[in-house]
Amino acid sequence: MRAFAALFLLLQTADYYAEGSKALDEKRYQDAAQLFSKAVDADPKDYSAHFNLALAYGFLDNSGGAVAEYRKTLELKPALFEAETNLGLVYLRQKDSASAVPLFEDAARQKPQDFAVAYHLGEAESGVGAWDKAAAAFDAALALNPKAAPAEFGLARALARQDKLADAAPHYRQAAALDPGFHDGLLELGSLYEKAGQTKEAAALYGEFPADPAAQQRLSALQLRAGQYADARQLQFVLRHLIQFPLETNELRARR
């Protein structure tokens, strides 16, 4: 009798699992969540059912449910790569970088040739302010995919936060070259040059943004401070520009 009951339970779990997998494939995520919930109830130790329930919760934007189920998956199947990376991504979306770091660290140890893992580890390390580790992770990601603009930008920022502007500058440039969407990120570099007292470099960079009022305001301020004007007409233009865009109300920020 016990053998029959166990067989029935196994068949029932398999049926829930099969139907839940079909629902996932067909993007019927609510149905998938219900079916995998039943599979988990039928066999609480089935880590794959917990994993797929977490997937369904993720597609339903139920982050709390996804976290709980991925954590249960890892409790039943420690160091499962897919569960670590998926849970790490959920934590990143929740701005919980501290919880994401160890997951991506272990995933990177398992698959050091996985670009996405290296990149997300860089994101997580950046989120906790571990800029040296973030730079190493982004560098590893770029070794796997040299054309990844977000990794270039991430490396640029990680180096800049360590006051390594000379090292950061080419990566800001390369990110912009790979993806025009990162071009405005150069304004961040200009602001960092200013803060570091490298006004010549800052002015040259702001000059690359003739259509950006904030960049031109900063350039005008630097020129006024240095007295670099060809004639009185240019000085009058700069003064009008500074009145139009007061220093205390304009800040340069990366658009990305």
What is the residue-averaged pLDDT of the chain? 88
Position 46 in a domain: yes
Position 237 confidence tier, pLDDT thresholds 50, 70, 90: low
Long-range contacts of 95-104 (CB under 8 A, 24+ apart): 95/127, 97/123, 97/124, 97/125, 97/126, 97/127, 97/128, 98/127, 98/128, 100/124, 100/127, 101/125, 101/128, 101/130
Dump pLDDT digits (tens) for 122-168.
999 999 999 999 999 999 999 999 999 999 999 999 999 999 999 99
The pLDDT of residue 9 is 47
Domain that holds residue 69: 1-78
CATH of the domain at 18: 1.25.40.10
Question: Over pLDDT 90: what percentage of the chain?
Answer: 75
**129 lies in a domain?**
no
Predicted pLDDT of residue 112: 97
Residue 10 located in a structural domain: yes
pTM listed for this prediction = 0.83
Residue 169 within a domain: no
Dihedral angle of Cα 228, 234, 238, 240, to the nearest 10 degrees: 160
Does the residue 134 lie in any domain?
no
For 26-75, write each residue's pLDDT tens digit: 999 999 999 999 999 999 999 999 999 999 999 999 999 999 999 999 99
Say if 210 falls within a structural domain.
Answer: yes
Range with the poorest average pLDDT among 111-115, 184-188, 193-197, 214-218: 214-218
